[in-house]
Amino acid sequence: MFIIKNKKIFLLISIFLVVASVVIISLFGLKIGIDFKGGALTEVSYPDGRPEISILKDATKDLSLGEITFQPSGTNDYIVKSKDLTDPEHTTLLQALSAKGTLKIEEKNFNSIGPSVGKELKKKSMFSIFFVILAVILFIAYAFRKVSKPISSWKYGPIAIIALLHDITIPIGVMGMLGHFAGAEVDTLFVVALLTILGISVADTIVVFDRIRENLRLKISSDFHETVGRSIDQTFTRSINTSLTVIFVLLSLFFFGPESTRNFALIMTIGLFFGTYSSIFLASPLLVYAYEIQEKMQAKKGNKKNKK
């Protein structure tokens, strides 16, 4: 019951986080990675210690390869970002990076994506996002197809969707921060993370709503607030525990896993955390608000009728 009694506070926390995320995204924007916009990423290691960035900038400034940025990585590495490179351009760049062979270099990773490939990835991502959202909406519609009282069944769906928007807005906001302060870029894995969050967290919300409906049918209490409160209590441990196990592995992936999936694990952890939060602390309180509004409207109608 604690959650329903203090629903205002939890709702405010959610609103604050979502607003903050939206502000961050509109202020900083998102850094789009080469997956989507095309470009090249060359990771080179200097076994004898890496030179200053300014030296490399001087060495590469006459190459007419457009803007080149250098980002230190690890102890001896640089990640060099540029426009997409053809094979001869790639060779020229490597030559310049080794200061015409005077510095020992080792290329660890080279990735050049042409603009048309990036365009296609963008298109594919859009399609997946569209279809996952569509599938989620259909899934919600299916799960709530049975009518129940006292709150009309169609209201569960939009509330579940509001909760989902909350679950993915916050990770996007975090990504905006990461992009601004740590140079993290939006890549295909980021899109995958968001969609997986959608898939896992919609189930969480539905489980709580399912229990509410079951309890409404069993009439465990005449009071709607009480029914919702007790439903949350009943599902609380399992909601937390099912998410906790996934968060355990995600954190393990974040701390010990491969470099390439580190941001992915972080974004998924944040998304799942807020996904669980929203199914307990946001969706159900919203349901109670929806009920209160519905009651008020009915009371008004009733008053009008009485006056007549």
Q: Which stretch binds other proteins (CB under 8 A): 6-14, 97-105, 249-257, 287-295?
A: 249-257
Tokens of 18: 């979502």
Residues 111-130 that bind other proteins (CB under 8 A): 111-114, 116-117, 119-121, 123-125, 127-128
Q: How far is the CB of 85 from other proteins (least distance, A)?
A: 8
The binding track of 29-58 with respect to other proteins, each residue x by CB under 8 A or -, is --------------x---------------
Q: Does residue number 62 form part of the binding site for other proteins (CB under 8 A)?
A: no
Residues 275-304 that bind other proteins (CB under 8 A): none
User: Burial, 44: exposed, middle or buried (Cβ in 10 Å; 0-12, 13-18, 19+)?
Assistant: buried
Tokens of 209: 């709503």
Q: How far is the CB of 211 from other proteins (least distance, A)?
A: 9
Residues 227-246 that bind other proteins (CB under 8 A): 233-234, 236-238, 241-242, 244-246
Q: Does residue number 135 form part of the binding site for other proteins (CB under 8 A)?
A: yes
The only residue of 87, 100, 147, 306 in contact with other proteins, by rule CB under 8 A: 87
How many residues lie near other proteins (CB under 8 A)?
Answer: 72
Tokens of 103: 């510095």
The only residue of 20, 79, 207, 290 in contact with other proteins, by rule CB under 8 A: 207
Q: Which stretch binds other proteins (CB under 8 A): 50-58, 131-139, 148-156, 168-176?
A: 131-139
